[in-house]
Amino acid sequence: MDLFDSELRVIAAAEELVHGLGSDENHTVAAAAMDTTGRIHTGVNVCHFTGGPCAELVVIGVAAAAHAGPLVTIAAAGDQDRGLLAPCGRCRQVILDLHPDALVAVPDVTTSEPSIAPISSLLPQAYRHPDSAPERLLRFHARYFDTVRNGSKTLTVRWSEGHRTGPALAYFENTEHGTLPVEVASVTVKRLDALRPEDLDLTRPGGLEQYIGNLRDHYPAMPADANVEILRFRRTAADI
């Protein structure tokens, strides 16, 4: 999957920071994270014989101190030209609990290019901390900004994202559009191969096949018998 320019900027920020660390044995990994406004926050790990936080945890704290809100993309890079690093198990759990809609940059095992993965896919069948109460994001392609803003788009289908009912922010990928407040009214789980046009409010002939084709383009690893989430949502701002 091709990365957005915004995601490449996050990776570049982590790599630039780690290259500037030199041979400091106490700080060997740098991380960068982007928030919904496009700001990139950075931090480094802290090595100590009593233990110390990974760079991903430090950057989460840095972003929180800057009142960043939900994080969109996270990347970490190692010193001595180790390149992009996947998060450890503890970091995966923390990111999942605090920023469950973040995408994480990871090295592709088959190519030399970076890849991007939802945090949920890096920790399947994960434990979810019941008291974390993170602010949720609903990610959309930029082409949906107008229809979400004017309230005409009220349904979306997701795979392996673990959405729940309640307030969320609609976020539009790789644009300068701001987030829009929405309320997820319902989450219905159904098998992909059992979807019917009426499940998605489709009336146009061939609409279901086209919709599923678009889903497969967006989720290339999604199996034919996947359980997908049908989300119904509404704008909650007063300026609709």
What CATH number is attached to the domain comprising 19? 3.40.140.10
51 φψ region: left (φ > 0), alpha (ψ -120 to 50), beta (else) = left
Residues 10 and 118 placed together within one structural domain of the fold: yes
Quick check: 173 and 213 in contact, CB under 8 A? no
Statement to judge: residues 87 and 156 lie in one domain:
no
* Contacting residues for 36 by C-beta, under 8 A, at least 6 apart: 69, 70, 72, 137, 169, 171, 178, 179
Q: In terms of residues, how long is the chain?
A: 240
Among 15, 56, 161, 229, which one carries the catalytic annotation? Answer: 56
Q: Domain check: are 100 and 166 in the same one?
A: no
Domain shared by 9 and 116, yes or no: yes
Q: Are residues 203 and 165 in the same domain?
A: yes
**Could you tell me if 65 and 142 lie in one domain?**
no
Token match 């999957």: residue?
1
pLDDT of residue 44: 98
Please tell me the predicted confidence (pLDDT) of residue 86. 96
Alpha-carbon gap, residue 83 to 156, rounded angstroms: 36
Could you tell me if 17 and 86 lie in one domain? yes
| Short-list 221, 233, 225, CA closest to 147 | 233
What pLDDT is recorded for position 220?
A: 86
Identify whether 182 is part of a domain.
Answer: yes
pLDDT at site 112: 74
Query: 89 with 187, same domain?
Result: no
Residue 179 resides in a domain: yes
Is residue 15 included in any domain, yes or no? yes
With respect to residue 131, please indicate whether it lies within any of the assigned structural domains: no
- The whole-number pLDDT of residue 160 equals 87
* CATH code, domain carrying 170: 3.10.400.10
Q: What is the reported pLDDT for 136?
A: 95
pLDDT at 149: 95
Residues 15 and 104 in one domain: yes
d(Cα 61, Cα 55) in Å, to the nearest integer? Answer: 10
Q: How far apart are CA 233 and CA 240, in angstroms?
A: 14
Closest CA to 105 of 88, 78, 85: 85
7 is catalytic: no
Residue 209, domain extent:
136-235
Residue 217 lies in a domain: yes
Asked if 113 and 145 sit in the same domain, the reply is no
- 130 belongs to a structural domain: no
Domain boundary among 61, 90, 122: 122
Q: How many structural domains are present in the chain?
A: 2
Tell me if residue 7 falls in helix, strand or coil.
helix
In a domain, 127, yes or no: no
d(CA 58, CA 43): 6
Domain end, chosen from 122, 156, 186, is at 122
Residue 165 vs residues 27, 99, 140, 187: alpha-carbon distances, Å: 40, 16, 17, 6
In this structure, are 80 and 115 located in the same domain? yes
pLDDT computed for residue 240 by the predictor: 53
The alpha-carbon radius of gyration of the chain (Å, integer) is 19
Residue 128 lies in a domain: no
Give average pLDDT by consecutive 10-residue segment, the chain, 240 residues: 90 97 93 97 95 96 97 97 95 96 92 89 84 91 95 95 93 93 97 96 94 92 93 82
Choosing from 122, 144, 170, the residue where a domain stops is: 122
Residue 45 has which token pair?
């790990």
Residues 141 and 215 in one domain: yes
Phi-psi region of 200 (alpha: psi -120 to 50; beta: other; left: phi over 0): alpha
